[in-house]
Structure 1
Amino acid sequence: MPSIDLNRFEAKKVSRPVKQAKSDGLLALLSRDLSFGKKELDDKKKEYLYLELSSLLQAGINLKSSFELITADQQKVKDKELFITIQQAVLNGTTFSVALQQTSKFSLYEVYSLQIGEETGKLIEVLQDLAKFYQNKIKQRRKIVAALTYPCVVMTTSLGAVFFMLKFVVPMFGDVFRRFGGKLPWITEKIMGVSQALENNFFRFVSLLILLAAFIISARKTEPFRRISSKLLLRTPLVGNLVQKIYLARFCNSMRLLINARLPLLRAIALIKQMIAYYPIESSLQKIEDDIMNGKSLYQSMQQFNIYPSKMIQLVKVGEETNQLDYFFGKISEQYLEEVEFKTATISSMMEPLIIIFLGLIVGVILVSMYLPLFQMSNSFQ
């Protein structure tokens, strides 16, 4: 049976399949989840595939019959065709891992893990690990989205209301004030000035936003943009620390899976380097890989980079000394995931009242500034 040649992975040179897989849109661990037009299979479908397949194989059903059952359960034609293609490749003598690679719908992260599982007779365990990985990933993403949805909806709606007032309501009051003449209060003049500026520069502002969005889309994959944007994001209060822990949790969980699958450390780092789309970690892994080649330990190389907390480095040191890296990476990942969930819930609960208070003040100032001249005029008529 044809198999993947693991020797194609060299320490300083990434193989052609890895580069090709990267261009095809490999797993980016977080930021690629919502990308449009991606070629990989959806995370939810991967979780279903690995969970069902591991359960069926554990029950004693062979791979061919297991795939027939999974394929029959598919509702979408594209998914059914994909699983039929994998099934036919396996029936023709191709290993399961290579069959997945040939579809270009799965990352090398999964392909190499599954190949190690096939070679060591631990395919079911690897399938269960992959199912748990995607299950946790989906669960984490759902919690983050659920925690931030309400504040974002409130913010968007409130800003829309403020924009409507400045664009339409304030100018109407302004026309009334100009007819009556007289000296307007300071705050009213300022609000009317903001409204007039919005009126005069509305299309310029929209054009600027479009140009900014186009620039970000075109430059987001360049190294200078990724380096600068990641630094700015890390320095953002609350959000920076949250994003750092999300990616560190993904990194640690990926290392746990690959090391647990008996993949050599250098090859595991080379794979993860191709999959992580977070510049601080991605750029550090090349230096870490070179240092390990020159005889340094993993924890010594990680100490050079601020992205890795000192506590994490100490646990990695213990893992290297006791030959339990996979166990400690798993513990670190679990700890960071718990912190992410707690901080996400905390930020969400903090944002809701702060947004309401902040936008309430803005709306209140606008209303007071508009009604204050009316009160003055009513007093002058008495």
Structure 2
Amino acid sequence: MPSIDISRYEKKKTSKKIEKSSKSSLGELLNKDISFGSTELPDKKKEYLYLELSSLLKAGIDLKSSFELITADQQKEKDKELFAGIQKAVLAGSTFSQALKDTQKFSLYEVYSLQIGEETGKLIEVLSDLAKYYQSKIKQRRKIVGALTYPIIVLSTSLGAVFFMLKFVVPMFGDVFKRFGGKLPWITEKIIGISQALQDNFVIGLLLILSVAVFIFSSRKTEQFRKIFSLSVLKIPVIGNLVQKIYLARFCNSMRLLINAKLPLLRAIALIRQMIRYYPIDSSLATIESDIMNGKSLHQSLQQFSVYPAKMVQLVKVGEETNQLDYFFGIISEQYVEEVEYKTTTLSSAMEPLIIIFLGLIVGVILVSMYLPLFQMSNSF
């Protein structure tokens, strides 16, 4: 195992402030965790905590000293206070898992995994698994964001250009054509009509968009909205399957971690219900939990729901028969993660030229429709 540079954690006696880096890369800015109304610690900070803590404990450093080193490495005051509070609670006699729970910054999924690790003497192993889980989650999110960033920028810029032409350029041409009079080409009349409709209904359209955005934001957590939205997304070609695989990968990875931590199957399912807020999986887990309590096997219960592919169900069946559920859930998760990464990259590569061609045609049609009457007028002289 590579050595740990403890010197970077040490506090300077001459100053209580920790030196901040003068520059931050664009990549760090784009990958920064953004949360709206969430009280939990961001995934990047959770990954850091579990990775550093498992490394320090493996090196033989006790929990108190490990937290002192981790706290000293924090640049933000609120992070220092959080980790110092956890350390204080542990020194006062609380278990590490209970100290995390009391902060309300960590999910029950993590709390109970760590509690099992403490009870079985496998705390370091559970910490390592949690670090890997968040590393995988962050890596997957970065790849998806990276693959879709360029197409979204191109689409947004192109739509902005089309909007500018319809809102400002076309009306100027329209005023010129009215002065000259005469019959305009069919396509020119249609483009001017669209531009005029945009002028007349711009404020109403803007208010409508804002109203829809407010409605979605306010009702996004209701069960009815989640059901309609998730089922609608699933029906979208390519995108629906991609979203399904993303959440299945998270479900399988969570099951692997909890089962590997020796958590009972029913307890693991109950915790995952609180963690994965994807309606098709979330709603199915209540039934699955009830089925298992009534004597059904996990794979028999899973196969009732279309969100779980037949191949996944068969692998779960093998895992149950061989008593290696955590291993097979790990395999399924890795397969889905690789599939999502491949499909995202392929989708991004296909979208870029299609967006450019489609919006290029729209801009071309607008320009031709505006210049066509000018060509007709020049030929008439």
TM-score by length of 2: 0.91
Distance 2:324 2:370 in 1: 68
Instruction: Tell me which residue corresponds to 1:208.
Output: 208
Instruction: Tell me which residue corresponds to 1:295.
Output: 295
**Aligned partner of 1:51: which letter?**
L
Distance 2:218 2:63 in 1: 44
- Deviation of the 1:217 alpha carbon: 1.3
- Deviation of the 1:79 alpha carbon: 0.2
Q: Deviation string for 1:284-343 (max 9, x for gaps)?
A: 000000000111000000111000000000000000011000000000000000000000
Distance 1:77 1:304 in 2: 50
Instruction: Tell me which residue corresponds to 1:4.
Output: none
Instruction: Tell me which residue corresponds to 2:281.
Output: 281
**Aligned partner of 2:240: which letter?**
G
Instruction: Tell me which residue corresponds to 2:149.
Output: 149
1:354-365, aligned counterparts within 5 Å? 354-365=354-365
Q: Deviation string for 1:10-42 (max 9, x for gaps)?
A: xxxxxxxxxxxxxxxxxxxxxxx6432321111
**Aligned partner of 1:162: which letter?**
V
Distance 1:362 1:150 in 2: 20
- Deviation of the 1:169 alpha carbon: 0.2
1:1-382, aligned counterparts within 5 Å? 34-381=34-381
Distance 1:271 1:190 in 2: 57
Distance 1:91 1:113 in 2: 21
Runs of 4+ in 1 over 6 A off after TM superposition: none
- Deviation of the 1:146 alpha carbon: 0.5
**Aligned partner of 2:260: which letter?**
N
- Deviation of the 1:113 alpha carbon: 0.5
Where does the alignment leave 5 or more consecutive residues of structure 2 unmatched?
Answer: 1-32
Instruction: Tell me which residue corresponds to 1:9.
Output: none
Give the 3-state SS of the residue equivalent to 1:227 in structure 2: helix
What CA RMSD, in Å, does the superposition of the two structures yield over aligned residues? 0.7
**Aligned partner of 2:339: which letter?**
E
Percent identity at matched positions? 80
- Deviation of the 1:349 alpha carbon: 0.3
**Aligned partner of 2:104: which letter?**
S
Distance 1:287 1:35 in 2: 30
Distance 1:265 1:69 in 2: 36
- Deviation of the 1:275 alpha carbon: 1.0
Higher relative contact order (CA 8 A, sep 6+): 1
Where does the alignment leave 5 or more consecutive residues of structure 1 unmatched?
Answer: 1-32
**Aligned partner of 1:227: which letter?**
K
Distance 2:205 2:286 in 1: 41
Distance 2:138 2:327 in 1: 22
Give the 3-state SS of the residue equivalent to 1:263 in structure 2: coil
TM-score by length of 1: 0.91
**Aligned partner of 2:184: which letter?**
L
